[in-house]
Amino acid sequence: MTSLLSLLLLILLTLSSVESKTFWADVAALKEFKNSVDAKSITPGSCLSSWDFSVDPCDGLSGETFTCGFRCDTVVSGSGRVTDLSLDHAGYSGSLSSVSFNFPYLQSLDLSGNYFSGPLPHSLSNLTRLTSLYLSENSFSGSIPASLGSMSALEELLLDNNRLSGSVPASFNNLSSLKRLEIQLNNISGGFPDLTSLKNLNYLDASDNQISGRVPALLPGSLVQISMRNNLMEGTIPESFSNLTSLEVVDLSHNELSGSVPSFIFTHQTLQQLTLSFNGFTSLDSPYYSPSGLPSELISVDLSNNQIRGSLPLFMGLLPKLSALSLENNSFSGMIPTQYVWKTVSPGSNFAAFQRLLLGGNFLFGVVPSPLMALKPGSANVQLAGNCFSWCPATVFFCQGQEQRTVTECRKFSRVIP
């Protein structure tokens, strides 16, 4: 009789294991995760509202339960393993600090666009196969766990739009597979760590924080875009940027940079967009150039709202691909260079035309060149208002928006005006 009961029990266990498509530990991990979410934030029709554990999770994906929020794959031993956990933007809230994240086969975790709060869980480092971690647009707070630096398979790390504070962990230099790092719109402070080991990193956005110190010099040569606007960085652009041979976009606007903009940045071999507005630069270092032009890939340069003095830089009119130049709200003086005029009205076959030329709010004087006066509205976005020109009436479209400066103001910058 005992042996018969044992046989029946074995058969039941066998049938149970065959019928269950989800590995038991993944079921437990899904239950733990759902239980950590504030029940009041789980609304009807949301993904989590369909998670009914009376049904096998991986078996219910095609029915009315477990309709969304994760993906199962048969990875090993015929059991379904959770490989993707991606919630909808349904306004979920709660703290995840105590969740174990025991999903050994998880490759992607997306909790973005919700209201999760509290510290980032240290247990995220348990996800050793994770390649994408999206925690954007939540209310996570506290420091970034150094343990995240052990996630060597991670390719995309998005922590932007939270309330994170403290510094960027030095352990991030161990994220050898990382391609994209977004930590913008937080309260991150301090200097920036060495990231030179991240040979695959191509996108870095650390804007809208409180990062201080010098512009990071220890960055990988693979970077294509660097955005660190609206921080507290000082100094100027480091010479090491010339070694970033894939760099196309640099945005360091709204910082406390000062001194001179180095000449090498204007002839960088790959750079297309340079934004340094709203800083404290006082001068530009001119690269060597000939009348035939400069070797440069720059398409857009924005140096507006600094404190740059002197004549308008002639070399800007010789950058062959430059079509957008903003130098407004500085302290430039002198006359508009001929190179600027012809690049706007008739650039020739080897030069891109200025589609945007913003020179307003300076101390430029003399006569507005006649080819510019002949421009029609809509032909090019030109702005010359707020200067010291002898004649720039508000009836001309590029003189509108700000009155010309007074003679008293202009006398400080021009010996021509009596």
Count CB atoms within 10 A of the CB of residue 205: 19
Residue 195: pLDDT over 70? yes
Name the pLDDT band for 329 (thresholds 50, 70, 90).
very high
**Percentage with pLDDT > 70 across the chain:** 92
Residue 309: pLDDT over 60? yes
| Mean pLDDT, residues 5-28 | 60
Judged by average pLDDT, the poorest of 264-273, 354-363, 387-396 is 387-396
Distance, in Å, from the CA atom of 314 to the CA atom of 257, rounded to the nearest integer, reads 23
Do residues 96 and 141 lie in contact, with contact meaning Cβ atoms separated by under 8 Å? no
Q: Supply the mean pLDDT for the chain.
A: 91
Helices (H), 144-223: none
pLDDT at position 60, please? 65
Name the pLDDT band for 292 (thresholds 50, 70, 90).
low
pLDDT in tens, 350-383: 889 999 999 999 999 999 999 999 999 989 999 9
Do residues 234 and 212 lie in contact, with contact meaning Cβ atoms separated by under 8 Å? yes
pLDDT at position 416, please? 44
Name the pLDDT band for 15 (thresholds 50, 70, 90).
very low
Backbone angles phi, psi at 397, to 5 degrees: -60, -35
pLDDT in tens, 121-153: 999 999 999 999 999 999 999 999 999 999 999
**Percentage with pLDDT > 90 across the chain:** 83
pLDDT at position 63, please? 72
Q: What is the 3-state secondary structure (H, E, C) of 70-101?
A: EEEEEEECCEEEEEEEECCCCCCEEECCCCCC
Do residues 73 and 97 lie in contact, with contact meaning Cβ atoms separated by under 8 Å? no
pLDDT at position 64, please? 81
Name the pLDDT band for 10 (thresholds 50, 70, 90).
very low
pLDDT at position 298, please? 97
pLDDT at position 414, please? 61
| Mean pLDDT, residues 271-277 | 98
Distance, in Å, from the CA atom of 36 to the CA atom of 40, rounded to the nearest integer, reads 12
pLDDT in tens, 73-103: 987 767 899 999 999 999 999 999 999 999 9
Distance, in Å, from the CA atom of 262 to the CA atom of 204, rounded to the nearest integer, reads 22
Residue 418: pLDDT over 50? no
pLDDT in tens, 32-50: 999 999 999 999 999 999 9
